[in-house]
Amino acid sequence: MNTSVDHEQPRRRGIFSRFLEQTGSLTVFSLRFFPNVFVPPYELGEVRRHLDELGSKSLPLAGITGFIVGLIIAMQTRPTLFRFGADSFLPAMVAISFVRELGPVITALIVAGRVSSGIGAELGSMRVTEQIEAIEVSGIDPYKFLVVTRVLACVLLQPLLTAIVNAIGLFGAYVAVAIESSMSWQLYWDSVVQSLTFADVIPGLAKTAIFGFIIGIVGCHQGFHAEGGTVGVGRASTTAVVLSSMLIIFTDMILVKLTVWIWP
C-alpha cells in the first residue's frame, strides 16, 4: 500500500512540474511577441500571405457552421417564444446572443481546430528537420519571421472572420424564421438592427483579436518547441488545438464578466 502511494506522489509532482514548465514557457514565449512586433524589419509580405492562406481556408467551414448554428437556434427557440406570445422577439434574441457570444466563440474554436493545429504541425516539422536552425544561421530571426507574422495574421483575421460568420449566422436564423412564419426579410433585419447596440457589437468583435492571439501564439509555441521526430510533430499539433481551445473558453469567461461590468 505504501509503495503504491510512494510511486503515485512522484508521478503527480511530475505532472504538476510539467504544467508549471509549460505555463512559464508559453508566458515567456508570448511576451516576446510584443517588443518584436514593433521592431523592423516588418515582414508585411509574410503577413499578407498568412492572411490569405489562413483566412480563405477557414472561412468555408466557419461560415457553414455559423449558418447551421443560427438556423438551429431559431428553430429551437421559436416554439418556446411562440408559447408565450413573444415570437416577435426572436430576431432580437438571436441577434444579441449570436453577436455577443456564439459567433465569436464558435468562430474562434473552428479556427483553433484548423489554424492552430496547422501552425503547430508546420513549425514542428520545421523544428525536427532543423529548418528553424538553418533560418537562424542565415542571419534571420526565426521568431520574428515565423512567429510574429503568423500571430499578427491571426489577430487581424479573427475579427474579420467573426463579422462574416455573424452575418451568415443571422441569415441562417432568418431562413428558419421564413420557413415557419411569414416574417419578411425587411422586418427581420429591422428588428435585428434595432436590437443591437454598441455594447453588443464592439466588445464581441474586440475580444476576437485576443482569441486570434491565443490561436496563433499557442500553435507557434507548440511547433517551435516540438521534439521527438514525427511523433513530436503530431503531439505539437494535437496539444495546440486542445490548449488553444481551453484558453479561448477560459478567456471568454473572464471577458464576459469584464464586459458586463463595464457595460451593465
Stated pTM of the model? 0.87
Neighbour tally for 140: CB within 10 Å: 14
Flag whether pLDDT at 17 surpasses 80. Answer: no
CA–CA gap between residue 107 and residue 110 (Å, rounded): 5
Write the pLDDT tens digit of every residue in 83-121.
Answer: 777 777 888 888 988 998 889 999 999 999 888 888 888
Does some domain include residue 175? Answer: yes
Sequence-distant (≥ 6) Cβ neighbours of residue 239 within 8 angstroms: 120, 222
Does some domain include residue 25? Answer: no
The C-alpha cell at 43 is 515582414
Does some domain include residue 28? Answer: no
C-alpha distances out from residue 168 to 49, 90, 165, Å: 25, 16, 5
Write the pLDDT tens digit of every residue in 121-154.
Answer: 888 888 888 888 888 888 888 888 888 999 999 9
The residue segments making up the domain with residue 143 are 42-262
Does some domain include residue 2? Answer: no
CA–CA gap between residue 223 and residue 234 (Å, rounded): 10
Does some domain include residue 36? Answer: no
Does some domain include residue 254? Answer: yes
Write the pLDDT tens digit of every residue in 197-213.
Answer: 887 888 888 899 999 99
Does some domain include residue 17? Answer: no
Sequence-distant (≥ 6) Cβ neighbours of residue 73 within 8 angstroms: 94, 97, 98, 102, 173
Does some domain include residue 10? Answer: no
Number of domains into which the chain is organized: 1
Flag whether pLDDT at 162 surpasses 90. Answer: yes
